[in-house]
Amino acid sequence: MRRERISELSPGWAVKVALVEDAFHHEALLHSGEDGFLRGTLPFIAEALACEEPLMIAVGDARRALLEEALGDDAERVLFVNMRLLGRNPARIIPAWREFVSEHALDGRPVRGIGEPVWPGRSEAELDECARHESLLNVAFAGGPDWRLLCPYDLETLDPAAIAAARLTHPSLAHDGISRRNDAYRSPDRAPGPFAGSLPAPAREPEELSFTANGLAALRTLVYKRAAAAGVEQEPSEDFVLAVNELATNSVQHGGGGGRLAIWTEPGALVGEVRDRGHIDDPLVGRRSPPLDQHGGRGLWLVNHLCDLVQTRSTRSGTVVRVRMRLPEDARAAARTPLAGSA
């Protein structure tokens, strides 16, 4: 199939979009392969450029290369972001969109985005958090400025469960050049809460430690030792220790005075989990940039930016936050065996 270049497209090629009540138009693009990706995104981009609407595209390097080839010189008019880095932890994506929209939606000026948080090879845990992220987008931008976000989902390469999740979290669907309201969409008031459900049991027997305010130093020492034994390099090791310490400090301050840490390794990752008796009811906690003059309240924000994946589950009876740090390739064999000789 011949691939169109952006110069061959005009706003008249753009898919027709049904009117929605909210100024935020959140749409899943269901496509097949690279050609389907281009057919679905290029008209959207052409319309944005013709209307001089600011446009941010957050995709992986392969998708970016496809678009840059099609855009030619117009690629310089687009802000590209590497989603494989930004979206490694899906909790970091909403803050990036909020920053882009707040900087460019001036005087009611519409803006656009293309974001691909789901790609082949993501783990089950990552896909779960991606689905929660997509649902939270509808909370984060409800009643906000006028902007459109197109989220590509590849029918050829993604698991059917990922496609099913996309249908539940996007008010509109685009497929074969037609954009429609999505009858399967679950609005935030009908969808499960962002902290609902439970986490699977650890893949292996964890080491555990109960803590209070007086035990935070021992907690940090334990996490540092486990990171070293798993082969985590110095800088990410320090980040992981800081993240777990932030979670434990939150437990001391807001979770009943203490909690319980569990730490273990899985293939490719060091995992830590903090449980306490607290309850989280703010759906966007950790996804809003704290004001510079704010004292405290930065714990989950910091954790989201330090770790490769953060999973939070909370009920009236307590909260659990599980964090992951990826291991370097040469340390993955160690992660598949017990931590022999560890103290």
Q: Average pLDDT in the 31-47 region?
A: 96
What does the pLDDT read at residue 106? 82
Q: Please report which confidence band the pLDDT of residue 184 belongs to, taking 50, 70 and 90 as the band edges.
A: very high
E strand or H helix at 194, and its extent? none
Sign of torsion over alpha carbons 67, 71, 73, 75: negative
110-149 confidence digits (pLDDT tens): 999 999 999 999 999 999 999 999 999 999 999 889 999 9
Q: Where are the domains of the chain?
A: 6-181, 207-335
Q: Average pLDDT in the 224-238 region?
A: 96
Q: Average pLDDT in the 234-253 region?
A: 97
Q: Torsions phi, psi of 272, nearest 5?
A: -125, 150
Q: Superfamily assignment of 207-335 in CATH?
A: Histidine kinase-like ATPase, C-terminal domain (3.30.565.10)
In this structure, the strands spanning 172-175 and 178-181 are antiparallel
Tell me the CB-side half-sphere exposure of residue 113, using CA atoms within 13 A.
Answer: 27
**Please, are residues 76 and 84 in contact by the beta-carbon 8 Å criterion?**
no
**Please, are residues 196 and 238 in contact by the beta-carbon 8 Å criterion?**
no
Query: 6-181 with 207-335: one CATH topology?
Result: no
Q: Please report which confidence band the pLDDT of residue 3 belongs to, taking 50, 70 and 90 as the band edges.
A: low
What does the pLDDT read at residue 17? 40
pTM for this model (two decimals):
0.89
> What mean pLDDT, rounded, does the chain reach?
90
- Look up the CATH architecture of domain 6-181: 3-Layer(aba) Sandwich (3.40)
